[in-house]
Amino acid sequence: MGAGGKGYKAPTLQLEKLLALGLDQRTTENALVNSKVTANLGAVIAEAGITCCDKSVGNLLYAVATKYPNNALVHRPALIDYIVSMKIKNPAQLDAALSFLTNVGPDPLDTGKFEEACGVGVVVSIEEIHSTVTKVLHENMEAILEQRYHINVGNLCGQVRKRHPWGDAKATKEEIEKRLAEILGPKTEADNVKPVKTKKGKPAKPEEKKVAVATVAPPSEDLNPYSHFPEPAENNKVHTEIFFSNGNIWRAHNTKEILEKHLMATGGKVTTRFPPEPNGYLHIGHAKAMFIDFGLAKERNGYCYLRFDDTNPEAEKKEYIDHIQEIVHWLGWEPYKVTYTSDYFQALYEHAVELIRKGLAYVDHQTAEQIKEGRENNLHSPWRDRPIEESLKLFEDMRRGLIAEGAATLRMKQDMQNDTRNMYDLIAYRIKFTPHPHAGDKWCIYPSYDYAHCMVDSLENITHSLCTLEFDIRRPSYYWVLVALGLYQPYVWEYSRLNISHNVMSKRKLNRLVTEKWVDGWDDPRLLTLAGLRRRGVSAAAINSFIRGMGITRSDNSLIPFERLEYHIRKKLNKTASRAMVVLHPLKVVITNLEDGEVIDLDGKKWPDAPADEASSYYKVPFSRIVYIEKTDFRLEDSKDYYGLAPGKSALLRYAFPIKCTEV
Residues counted in the chain: 664
Q: How far apart are CA 274 and CA 462, in angstroms?
A: 11
Q: How far apart are CA 544 and CA 363, in angstroms?
A: 46
In this structure, are strands 464-468 and 491-495 parallel, antiparallel, or unpaired? parallel
Under 8 Å between Cβ of 403 and 355: no
- Identity (one letter) of the amino acid at 308? F
* CB-based contacts of 551, cutoff 8 Å, min separation 6: 220, 221, 223, 225
The catalytic position among 135, 399, 430, 507 is 507
The CB-side HSE value for 660 (13 A sphere, CA atoms) comes to 4
3-state helix, strand, coil in the chain (%, to 5): 45, 15, 45
What CA–CA distances, in Å, run from 646 to 519, 578, 640, 642?
48, 32, 12, 9
Is there a catalytic annotation at residue 507? yes
Rg (CA), the chain: 35
Q: How far apart are CA 490 and CA 266, in angstroms?
A: 13
The CB-side HSE value for 178 (13 A sphere, CA atoms) comes to 9
Q: How far apart are CA 479 and CA 485, in angstroms?
A: 10
- Catalogue the E-assigned strands of 162-258: 240-243, 249-252
The catalytic position among 497, 526, 605, 606 is 497
* CB-based contacts of 265, cutoff 8 Å, min separation 6: 461
Q: How far apart are CA 304 and CA 337, in angstroms?
A: 7
**DSSP assignment string, 288-328:** HHHHHHHHHHHHTT-EEEEEE----TTT--HHHHHHHHHHH
The CB-side HSE value for 150 (13 A sphere, CA atoms) comes to 13
Long-range contacts of range 514-519, CB-CB < 8 Å, 24 or more positions apart? 514/280
The catalytic position among 115, 221, 277, 630 is 277
**DSSP assignment string, 332-357:** T---S-EEEGGGGHHHHHHHHHHHHH
In this structure, are strands 338-340 and 361-364 parallel, antiparallel, or unpaired? unpaired
Q: How far apart are CA 85 and CA 68, in angstroms?
A: 19
For 571, the enclosing helix (H) or strand (E) is: helix 562-576
Q: Return the active site residues.
A: 277, 497, 507
